Amino acid sequence: MIHLLSSAAVLACFVSDSITLRRARGIFQHVRKSRPLRILRSRRNRHPRTSKTRWNIGIVEMSSECGRLQPPCILVPKTPEELSIIVKTLGRNKEIFAVKSSGNNPNGNFSRVDGGPLISLKDFNEIKYDAASGTVRIGAGNRWTHVVKTLEPQGVTAAGARIGHVGVGGFILGGGLNFWSTQVGWSMNTVVQFDVAFASGKIAKAFSSEKVDMFNVLRGGGNAYGIVTTYTLKAHKIGKIWGGYLTFGPDKTNEVLAAIRDFTEYYSDDKAAIIASHGIIPGNKHGEYLVANTQTARSACPEEWRGLLDLDDSVDRIFMVMNNAYNLISDIPTDGGGNGIPRRRDP
């Protein structure tokens, strides 16, 4: 059911009781005076507190710990001005709230709140490459698969996550390890500008020559200082990539750890990178290791990986020359939530 009260921001109330609905309307009484406000109503998940619940409502998708937290309403601003009004209104009402960019962190209370409003930045989805400056503007609501695929025709990419489902906002604000870290640094090191909404409602741009303190703390400092709506990053050219992944059973733990350690100590090529993950496969009480490798400028296996590739009896092994970065981050197997947990293939 949709009630048009008066805004362009979206207030989604996923509750059925009138008390909570009246409370949500009261919270945003100041917003309604200056902006149209659309309220969406839907039934609450029948089993909102179970650990296996996935809450997908078209606005957010959460799992595990985050899925246990149930915000009574979700705000989806479309512009920095709308976000500013929302933040000021929540501040006046002393409301506890959370902000979700696109879902980088699955832990509870990071991008989800229980009992208070959730601000979703999903509609900040701009991806715009500027060849003259060699930069790309990326909205906080994007995920890296979409960013990389959009930039692919331009022959460039951004130093984004190694797993495609990871969200842009929290990833950059937390630092941002990537397959190009040894060449360009962490993702936060490639940022040239942040577009930020502050708690006061003020909207500003922070970059290295203006608002320098804010620019520096946002590079790895998380979201405690403001809500970043758009990031401007340095783009870099990208061509074909040699890479893939290996999956090993728990009996190879010592050999895998030794090979990863050797790779780290005897690292000689800044274009070679790996990501190692240890996880439990559903239905298998033993852990397994997933090792994904990438070489961003070569068409054959680099010597740095021989210690891993020479290990016998890998459960799964796929290597190839990939046409672009999109193939790399989208082809790494995950548990469906972008967590880099290996899955055993059927024989």
Instruction: Tell me the pLDDT tens digit for each residue of 164-183.
Output: 888 899 899 989 989 888 88
Measured in degrees and rounded to the nearest 5, phi and psi for residue 158 equal -115, 155
Q: Which range scores top for mean pLDDT: 15-24, 72-81, 337-346?
A: 72-81
Q: What is the DSSP letter of 296?
A: T
Please give the pLDDT value at position 310: 78
* In contact, 23 and 13? CB cutoff 8 Å: no
Residue 22, SS3 per DSSP: helix
Residues 40 and 84 sit within 8 Å (Cβ to Cβ)? no
Q: What confidence score (pLDDT) does residue 309 get? A: 76
- Residue range 289-299: mean pLDDT, rounded: 61
pLDDT category, 43, cuts 50, 70, 90? very low
Distance CA 304, CA 271 (A): 11
Specify the 3-state DSSP secondary structure of 293.
strand
pTM over 0.85: no
| 268 vs 314: which has the higher pLDDT | 268
Taking 60 as the threshold, does the pLDDT of residue 4 lie above it?
Answer: no
In this prediction, residue 219 carries a pLDDT of 86
Per-residue b/e over 128-146, b at no fewer than 16 CB within 10 Å?
Answer: ebeeeeebbebbbbbbbbb
Say what the pLDDT of residue 250 is: 79
Rounded Cα distance, 183 and 133, in Å = 19
* Span between the terminal Cα atoms of the chain, in Å: 48
CATH numbers and ranges of domains, the chain:
2-120 (no CATH), 127-237 (3.30.465.10), 241-331 (3.30.70)
Least confident of 100-114, 278-292, 324-338: 324-338
Mean pLDDT of the chain: 72
Nearest to 206 by CA among 227, 237, 185, 180: 227
pLDDT at 48 over 60: no
Please tell me which residue, 293 or 92, carries the higher pLDDT value.
92
Average pLDDT over residues 320-330: 61
Beta bridge partners of 41: 13
